[in-house]
Amino acid sequence: MLSLAIKFKTNPKMKNIIIILVLCLGLGCKNDRQDTLKKDAKTHSEEHKHEKHSGHASANEFMHKSSFDDLIARFESPERDAYQHPYKVLNHLGDIQGQTIMDIGAGSGYFSVKLAKKGAKVIAADVDDRFLEFIQNRIEGNALENIETRKIPYDSPNLEEDEVDLVLVVNTYHHIENRPEYFAQVRKGTKTNGKLVIIDFFKTDTPVGPPSDHKLSMDVVVDELKKAGYSSFDVNVDLLPYQYIITAK
């Protein structure tokens, strides 16, 4: 610093050059800081986006840790019958004779087959071709009537307007992403006097079902369905030991 001071006194031009260099360095540091802030903001945005969708992704990853054969065995097991009480659920749905029902997330066809046997016209819908093939083989092998399979994308129920009387979603709601938008489409595909029935696990530790952090509380479900356009709700917490039933219109 001493040598620079001496040069300032003896050479004013050198002083001006050094001042210009310092200013340039300062601007460079400022630009570097701005670039760093932009990168930090981008990283935070990406992390927030990941957090927003991680529940959906985690639930799907948890399910797919099991092999397809293990999933079929679990879905069709006596243990499931013991907690799912399918015939109590069918009675809860009321008279479905002649109704058109979409079973979203049909899986092995556990409910789809039972609904068809009760006289409903059933659309067994799933995003997974393996499940749809399994259901189709089940239909053909058992000469089942009033049931068809339908491949649906992750972001749409693939329903025509006013196509069905009832949409049933069992143990699948927490797997769906962008649910208000998704169920606004479900509502549009349901007839004026039709209804949506959601059956899913209580958000607590239970002997069956996914971990509690993958589950959704009833309040969250109702709030999301309100955003989708539903205005009337019936919530049943007594029929099943580990699951709630929300009927929305």
CATH number at 182 reads 3.40.50.150
Burial category of 207 from C-beta neighbours within 10 Å (exposed 0-12, middle 13-18, buried 19 and up)? exposed
Specify the number of domains making up the chain: 2
Domain C-terminal end among 16, 39, 61: 61
pLDDT in tens, 156-207: 999 999 999 999 999 999 999 999 999 999 999 999 999 999 999 999 999 9
Residues 28 and 150 in one domain: no
Q: How confident is the model at residue 61 (pLDDT cuts 50, 70, 90)?
A: low
Phi-psi region of 151 (alpha: psi -120 to 50; beta: other; left: phi over 0): beta
- Whether residue 59 is predicted with pLDDT greater than 70 in this model: the reply is no
Domain C-terminal end among 26, 43, 61: 61
pLDDT top residue among 5 and 205: 205
CB 228 within 8 A of CB 201: no
- Whether residue 138 is predicted with pLDDT greater than 90 in this model: the reply is yes
Residues 109 and 215 in one domain: yes
Single-letter code of the amino acid located at 55: G
Average pLDDT over residues 215-224: 98
Residues 47 and 103 in one domain: no
Residue 233: how many CA atoms within 13 Å on its side-chain side?
Answer: 19
* Distance from C-alpha of 107 to C-alpha of 76, rounded to nearest angstrom: 10
Single-letter code of the amino acid located at 107: G
pLDDT in tens, 71-105: 999 999 999 999 999 999 999 999 999 999 999 99
Most confident of 26-30, 43-47, 141-145, 189-193: 189-193
Kind and range of the H or E run holding 82: helix 78-84
Which domain does 244 fall in, by range?
68-248
Order across the sheet with 243-248: list the strands.
Answer: 147-151, 121-126, 100-104, 164-170, 190-201, 243-248, 233-236
Contacts of 102 (CB under 8 A, 6+ apart): 122, 123, 125, 150, 157, 159, 163, 164, 166, 167, 168, 189
The reported pLDDT for the residue numbered 66 is: 73
Inter-CA distances, 21 with 35, 102, 202, 207, Å:
21, 72, 66, 70
Long-range contacts of 200-207 (CB under 8 A, 24+ apart): 200/169, 200/170, 200/171, 200/172, 200/173, 200/174, 200/243, 200/244, 201/171, 201/174, 201/242, 201/243, 202/237, 202/242, 202/243, 202/244, 206/242, 207/83, 207/242
The reported pLDDT for the residue numbered 29 is: 42
Residues 104 and 46 in one domain: no
Domain C-terminal end among 61, 92, 112: 61
Residues 41 and 82 in one domain: no
Residues 26 and 102 in one domain: no
Residues 39 and 78 in one domain: no
Residue in 230, 231, 235 with CA at minimum distance from that of residue 218: 235
Residues 196 and 83 in one domain: yes
Residues 34 and 88 in one domain: no
Strands 190-201 and 243-248 turn out to be antiparallel
pLDDT top residue among 88 and 53: 88
Average pLDDT over residues 205-224: 96
Residues 89 and 177 in one domain: yes
Residues 51 and 108 in one domain: no
Residues 79 and 174 in one domain: yes
- Whether residue 43 is predicted with pLDDT greater than 60 in this model: the reply is no
Q: Is the pTM of this model over 0.85?
A: no
The Cα angle at residue 142 between residues 88 and 67, in degrees rounded to 5 = 75
For residue 29, give both structure tokens: 């540091």
